[in-house]
Amino acid sequence: MNEYNFPQVELKYVLDSKPIYKINGPSDICRYARSLYDGDTISHREFFFVIFLNRSNHISGYYKASEGGISGTVVDVRTIFQAALLSQASGCIITHNHPSGNLEPSQQDMAITNKIKAAAKMLDIALLDHIIVNAFDEYYSFANEGAL
């Protein structure tokens, strides 16, 4: 008999169907990412999502990493990669919105991108892009701009 009692950690990944959405470039990412945002709040609150991809660039899932206020949100990199490992992701794309409409990445945007990129590299998960969107169907792609 075990005299020690430790809590059990249980993780769950719900696979509803076969992955069918393939990412071929930033416009595909933007189209899918935009579907994650609520049109009523995209210009009032900042959200940070991570999209997970399998080896053939099909979307295997997504994770809402953070929800903040009008001027920012806080992202915990550990929870991003907990979800990435659970979904068996080989690649990921991060996306967040700027309620102000300004697509220019902030210093904080650059810092979190670099932090996520370093963590992804350690886990052999490719960070393929970071997309900033606004309510006007515009986007900024770190990959397209050479900022990744």
- Give the angle subtended at the CA of 99 by the CAs of 45 and 148, to the nearest 5°: 105
Give the rounded distance of the alpha carbon of 58 from its chain centre.
15
pTM (predicted TM-score): 0.87
- Rounded CA-CA distance 138/31 in Å is 10
Query: Which domains, from first to last, does the chain contain?
Result: 26-69+80-137 (3.40.140.10)
* pLDDT tens digits for range 55-92: 999 998 899 999 999 999 999 999 999 999 988 999 99
In contact, 42 and 134? CB cutoff 8 Å: yes
Provide the mean pLDDT of the chain.
Answer: 90
Cα–Cα distance, 129 to 148 (Å, whole number):
7
Is 89 in contact with 60 (CB distance < 8 Å)? Answer: yes
Please name which of 61, 87, 59, 63 lies closest in space to residue 75, comparing C-alpha atoms: 63
Q: How confident is the model at residue 40 (pLDDT cuts 50, 70, 90)?
A: confident
**DSSP alpha helix (H) spans, the chain:** 26-36, 77-86, 107-122
Q: Which residues contact 146 (CB under 8 A, 6 or more apart)?
A: none
